[in-house]
Amino acid sequence: MKTEKTYRFMISGGGTGGHIFPALAIANELKSRYPNAEFLFVGAKDRMEMEKVPSAGYAIEGLWISGIQRKLTFNNLLFPLKLMASMLRARKLIQQFKPNVVIGTGGFASGPLLYMAEKAGLPCLIQEQNSFPGITNKWLSKRAKTICVAYKGLERFFPAEKIVLTGNPIRKELLAGIENKVAAKDQLGVKHGRHTVLILGGSLGARRINQLIESRLEFFDDNKVELIWQCGSLYYSDYRRYNSMEHVQVHAFLDNMNVAYAAADIIISRAGASSVSELCVVGKPVVFIPSPNVAEDHQTKNAKAIADEGSALLIKETDLEENFDVEFSNLLGSKQKQEQLSEHIKKLAKPNATQEIVNEIEKLIQTKG
């Protein structure tokens, strides 16, 4: 046990799993170091953090806040009112909870909370998952003491003296995964002597990736490919019939991701920040097909940052019909290219990201006293 003093941590991150998961990972690491610590999460009302955070065992308060739409809507007209109400509510929560440090991992609620925390003289840390920061973290960067990032080159957006390159928190179970490819393939019932390709479109699924895979099932079979296809919960009813094909496994989601990663020879994936960080640690050849439908085109920028290092392939959705077959076939047919991508992406891995972020939080505790 590090200390008998009880520290209090306020954490805000939400809207998507990409913000919530890092927030929870940071809280869990803090809790392991400071078993007596107290935690209060702050989220946006009616967003997924209001369910996910309590299910992980932490208290959460909701702010009446939402993002700004790109067109004129009633919600946009309400935004100034929501922002003022959220700031007043955040100030009250800060006064009641009296945190030692305030941490933001992105999402609507982190803006008002960290703004009011800095106004109250509290040390703040933000964790930016993407290679291109969102509006909230850009706005907060002038006020935060420390900015933990996952990509190089963010001096374009943040004060350079505040930046610490830590990487993104990843799921602990991946670090203790099955490393033996043969055992993993046996566990999943995948045939040996063929290429195993893992398809990841996120927990809900990716419509365009699913359409691509469905249209290429014979192509994959002709190329001796076994598919582990996570099509997502939204699309499972549309694609589960393909489980009848010998070379295809269709899953709504995969509980044993560590086994699936170990079994894969090649991975086709979206490029959300958490997924990219996990795939760097996994170290397999990756073909990124980023979603073009996310704020500020984050996924394309994340994937490009990896591809520009020669560590993955990037194919945009608009180029799939023209480029996928050739690029995938070339990768499949070149053991040298697969090994090169694997070696390069491993060099970008930050398996100790959560611990390094919490090390930075501890520095803020010490400076505050």
Q: Per-residue pLDDT tens, the chain, 369 aa: give them.
A: 444 689 999 999 887 777 888 999 999 999 999 999 999 999 988 888 888 899 999 999 988 876 555 555 556 556 677 788 888 999 999 999 999 999 999 888 899 999 999 999 999 999 999 998 988 889 899 999 999 999 999 999 999 999 999 999 987 777 666 568 899 999 999 999 999 999 998 766 799 999 999 999 999 999 999 999 999 988 999 999 999 999 999 999 888 888 999 999 999 999 999 899 999 999 999 999 999 988 778 899 999 999 999 999 999 999 999 999 999 999 999 999 999 999 999 999 999 999 999 999 999 998 765
Locate 363 and state its tokens. 């520095």
Q: What is the pLDDT of residue 96?
A: 97
Q: What are the angstrom distances between the C-alpha of 99 and each of 4, 41, 187, 224, 366?
A: 16, 11, 46, 57, 14
Q: What is the pLDDT of residue 171?
A: 76
**Neighbouring residues of 15: CB distance < 8 A, sequence distance ≥ 6:** 44, 47, 48, 49, 67, 106, 107, 108
Q: What is the pLDDT of residue 262?
A: 93
Q: Within a 10 A sphere around the Cβ of 78, how many other Cβ atoms?
A: 13
Which residue is listed with tokens 């996310």? 294
What pTM value is reported for the model? 0.84
Phi, psi of 264 (to 5 degrees): -75, 140
The one-character DSSP state at 312 is S
CATH 3.40.50.2000-classified regions of the chain: 8-170+351-368, 173-346
Locate 242 and state its tokens. 């393909």
d(CA 234, CA 204): 5
Architecture of domain 8-170+351-368 in this structure:
3-Layer(aba) Sandwich (3.40)
d(CA 2, CA 248): 50
Q: What angle do CA 69, 72, 73 make, to 5 degrees?
A: 75
Q: What are the angstrom distances between the C-alpha of 208 and each of 189, 239, 251, 318?
A: 27, 13, 16, 10
**Dihedral (CA of 98, 103, 109, 115) sign:** positive
Q: What is the pLDDT of residue 226?
A: 97
Write the burial class of residue 144 (CB in 10 Å: 0-12 exposed, 13-18 middle, 19+ buried): buried
Q: Are 230 and 210 in contact (CB under 8 A)?
A: no
Closest CA to 347 of 304, 283, 302: 283
Q: Are 112 and 63 in contact (CB under 8 A)?
A: yes
Q: Are 105 and 13 in contact (CB under 8 A)?
A: yes
Q: What are the angstrom distances between the C-alpha of 108 and each of 13, 47, 124, 364, 365?
A: 8, 10, 16, 24, 25
Architecture of domain 173-346 in this structure:
3-Layer(aba) Sandwich (3.40)
H helical segments located in 144-250? 172-175, 181-188, 207-215, 217-222, 236-239
